[in-house]
Chain A
């Protein structure tokens, strides 16, 4: 049976390597997605991930809400991404993610294989930066709360719900366009 997140945190804080590895497996995609959603290159995103996980190691026995480690990781990864952006001396005029230069799209990996992924690629390519980032983080956010996801993306918490609905709508629209056989 899968251990709860809180139980994994408790075990890892006592030095249990296996529990720690499982925690990493559970949240590695989320931390990576947050760093990439800030427009960081793979090299810079790798630094942010490493710093974030190391920071969790020193904080793991002090977490106030061990069951919410996903939210803690989002916050830590966002702050660190922001620091790295500032170090890169890039213009970061506001905390608004939309205004940043996006180095995370197109992805560094190979072009998607299979029809489903090819269609998602095509749709994501046409999405706004904000929606691309929001849906990417949301898809792997496991059990993180709305406020942390909103913060990770620089979107006011009051508008994260409507923004998310709009982005899903936009994606469905783009996918729908492609799904209609073009016989004209």
Chain B
């Protein structure tokens, strides 16, 4: 091999990639989780994208005096706002559907799911959600609107 300092650019970049594979590889559990994530795919649901996150607002500090973190997810038919409270290693989610109606909410997180009902005003509370990636699927008993799935977000 030519001297490292004089390698052609492409080979030098390949050497850098191999170096980081050696000293800071993608952990096995991260790779395994990524490969297993396709099973979380929802087929029938409409995607509600994360359109607002107070954690990103300039000048606010999440744990400061600016109040709790608020996430707004939006889809063409319905939106949902979720307030996140940190309770040690778990999170409490307080949600409000943009359209006041009852729904069955599936809370998806690392290693499991839990269910909670939204009342007739579209409000719900769920405790004990582990920190890490979280997504909600909302199903509406009236059946006139498609289920909703929110973007995953790290809580």
Query: Which A residues contact B (CB, under 8 angstroms)?
Result: 12, 15, 17, 20-21, 24, 28-29, 31-33, 36, 42, 45-51, 53-60, 62, 80, 82-84, 86-87, 89, 104, 107-113, 116-117, 119-121, 124, 135-136, 138-140, 168, 171-173, 175-176, 179
Contact = CB atoms under 8 A, between A and B. Distances in A.
Interface stretch (B56-64, B98-106, B115-123, B138-146): B56-64
A58 B41 contact: yes
Contacts, number: 153
Contacts of B33: 46, 49-50, 53
Contact of A168 (B3, B9, B29, B153): B9
12 contacts: A32-B30, A46-B29, A47-B132, A49-B30, A54-B152, A89-B62, A109-B22, A117-B19, A117-B23, A120-B4, A120-B15, A139-B14
Contacts of A45: 30
B24 A54 contact: no
A21 B33 CA distance: 11
Nearest to B131: A47
B39 to A, nearest CB: 8
A139 B17 contact: yes
B79 interface: no
Given A28-B34, A58-B149, A110 B23 contact: yes
Contacts of A120: 4, 15-16, 19
Nearest to B24: A107
The DSSP consensus for interface residues of chain A is helix
Interface of B: 1, 3-6, 9, 12-27, 29-31, 33-35, 37-38, 40-42, 47, 53, 55-56, 61-64, 69, 110, 131-133, 135, 149, 151-154
A111 B149 CA distance: 43
A113 B20 contact: no
A24 B34 contact: yes
B41 A36 contact: no
B22 A46 contact: no
A28 B31 contact: yes
Nearest to B13: A139
A53 B69 CA distance: 23
A136 B16 contact: yes
Contacts of A49: 26, 30, 33-34
Nearest to A33: B20
Given A33-B20, A50-B133, A53-B33, A83 B151 contact: no
A12 B13 CA distance: 29
